[in-house]
Chains A and B, each alone.
Chain A
Amino acid sequence: MYKIIYVVFYSIFLFVVASLGLYLLFTNQGFRFDVGNVLTNISPYAFATTGIGLAMAFSVVGAAWGIFTTGSSIMGAGVITPRIYSKNLVSIIFCEAVAIYGIIISIVMSNYLKYFDPNLLSDSMMAQNIFAGYALFGAGLTTGLSNLACGICVGIVGSGAAIADAANPNLFVKVTLLNNCINFPWLNATLGQHSKQVQATQVFYVIL
């Protein structure tokens, strides 16, 4: 039943888009399909703030996913061996740290937003401001997606750690060390990527 609803909506959407396109084509108004005009005229603040929001949002989703995986494993294994509860909390903390990284990055990015008056800037400065908006969007998106992946991975490893700990207490430390190793390269990747893009934006939001 749901399939029919999807098919109907999709076909209506396709029909509208196709007829709009053909109308523009056949009435000699093809130039009105203007992607460049839209992308240069959308305020850079829109994209920059979307990037900031995505940085935080995706990071939190990744953290939540990881905690979900780890938490259910700890609960399951802890039914038989309740001693694992206290030690395996550190796996949950690793996941939570991913969310904290996302928040920190978005706060840092939001400090780069400054006021500018388009009428006072030259063309090249305005172009750089538009670029800065897209750069912040890219930085936020990258940060968010990489945090998402990291959170999932940390969660899976933490879940393995809980089950290993329940089987044999000596295994916990070794598996947690592995968790650390995941975090470190990821952290480098995220912050490095972010800082490169941030350097690009730093100069260009000017008041004057």
Chain B
Amino acid sequence: MIKCFLTLFLVSLVSCNEFVPYLTWTNIEGLSCKRPIQFHGMNIQHITNEHYKKCLAPGKPNKLIIFLADQLTVEDFTYFGRNEESFEKTKNFIKSDSSSLTASVKPIQDLKSIQSYLPGADVEVVKLKIDRSTFDSLTTSIQQMDDIVWKKLNNIGGKYVAVLTTDTTYSVLGSPAERHVRIRRQSEADNKTSDILIKGPCVFMKYSAIMLTIDVKRHVMVPDSNSTQVGNCTDGNNTLILSLKSKDDASIKAKVRMDFIMKKFKTSAMDWWFLSSVTVDYNQFNQKNTVVSLKSRTFRDIISAPKNWSLVCGAPPNMTRIFAKIQDGTNLHLEFTGLQVQPFGVVNNTFGRALDCEGWFTIGIWTGLIVTLLLVTILTLGLCMIAQITTMDRFDDPKGKQLSIPQQE
């Protein structure tokens, strides 16, 4: 089985490009012919002459069923159908039969002519449609196609020969390179999720997702209404207020107020902007609003960048407010994913130069390096010292008097 699909996979790599898959199997038992050779680029004459005429025709099949799938290509098996469940039933057919064949052939228009090689068999052509508009619809149609094939073959009485191929020509399908580019583009388009972009007058922010954890329950938040901004853009104090509601439960609403400040720092002699305070005003289950100020140490040094720079952070640490005792208040965690923010100095409606919150070496790497350096230094010194221990040769004098050891206590 693997060999069959491996053959098809290798086909997709080679640039001989005008072949389409051709799968055929039968339920005739007791055939005396060996398993036919399968390779890519087979001519259909080879299959019909060698395999059908000499091997299957003596078994006297009653029916020849040709399944014509819409624009079937090798990639449908190797890429789109690589899931275990896709083509499961077709795979079972091919596995169980020793005279099954998986090949790739030049597409032929008149498939009914195969019938002449299997005299006595009635031909039936079944057209299968495949919906290729999105990745999900494609995988669903592949499974549906599989089911149709299985149902049809189960309901047939008697001996049959089945063929799964396509009648679409090469010019429609395109070369393998073109097909691969199409596949890649399609999978990228399907995987892209939307980022939320705030192009406010002063603060520009973009994020993939916001999660708010109230006590222990984590809610994915989506924008409830447009965000608002406070402050004129130039005096070093900008505020952004996000209005959010929970994605699953619209009764949980939160207003997140983020205050950004720009200040000159003496040590680096530069202007830096930083997120100075975050206040979350939330209510859940239509109860009273709770206003909580998050702990500034969890974000102040992280959401910060020099003047005119933006900050990019794939996974900023959670901004939290937690209490030691339950009766003091409810724990709150605010989590951004895929954040990019620039609250000052935005030029041309695009983000400025970006500073990544995760540097080249993380803190863990630095700790590891320091401790490893210490260890290796001590080890090296120790080994060097041990290596220079020798016995004393001060009194060694090969020509002198030998040492006499008196035999007494």
User: Which A positions have Cβ atoms within 8 angstroms of B?
Assistant: 31-32, 36-38, 41-43, 46, 50, 57, 61, 76, 79-80, 82-83, 117-120, 123, 126, 208
Contacts and interface: CB of A to CB of B under 8 A. Distances in A.
Nearest to A118: B297
Nearest to B392: A76
Interface string B245-273: 00000000000000000000001101000
Interface string B291-317: 000010110010000100000000000
Nearest to B363: A41
A31 B270 contact: yes
B371 interface: yes
A138 to B, nearest CB: 14
B367 A42 contact: yes
Contacts of B158: none
B297 A126 contact: yes
B320 A46 contact: no
A126 B406 CA distance: 71
Contacts of B371: 46, 50
A43 B324 CA distance: 21
A107 B252 CA distance: 51
Contacts of A42: 363, 366-367, 370
Nearest to B408: A82
Interface of B: 267-268, 270, 295, 297-298, 301, 306, 320, 322-324, 359, 363, 366-367, 370-371, 374, 378, 382, 392, 405-406, 409
Contacts of A43: 363, 367
A120 B374 contact: no
Contacts of B306: 31
A123 B367 contact: no
A80 B409 CA distance: 9
A119 B409 contact: no
B322 A120 contact: yes
A73 B366 CA distance: 45
A119 B295 contact: yes
Nearest to B295: A119
A146 B315 CA distance: 46
15 contacts: A32-B359, A36-B267, A37-B301, A38-B363, A41-B363, A43-B367, A80-B405, A80-B406, A83-B409, A117-B322, A117-B324, A119-B320, A119-B322, A120-B322, A120-B324
> When A and B form their complex, which 9 residue pairs have the shortest distance between CB atoms, in order from nearest?
A41-B363, A46-B367, A119-B322, A42-B367, A31-B268, A38-B366, A208-B324, A120-B324, A119-B320
Contacts of B297: 118-119, 123, 126
A57 to B, nearest CB: 7
Contact of A82 (B268, B370, B409): B409
Contacts of A123: 297
Contact of A79 (B295, B320, B405): B405
Contacts of A38: 363, 366
Contact of B378 (A36, A57, A80, A120): A57
A104 to B, nearest CB: 22
B298 A119 contact: yes
A198 to B, nearest CB: 22
A131 to B, nearest CB: 16
Contacts of B268: 31
Contacts of B382: 61
A53 to B, nearest CB: 9
Contacts of A61: 382
A31 B409 CA distance: 75
A61 B295 CA distance: 46
Contacts of B367: 42-43, 46
B365 to A, nearest CB: 10
B270 A50 contact: no
A57, A61, A118, A119: most-surrounded residue (chain B CB, <10 A): A119
Nearest to A40: B301
Given A61-B382, A120-B322, A123-B297, A50 B374 contact: yes
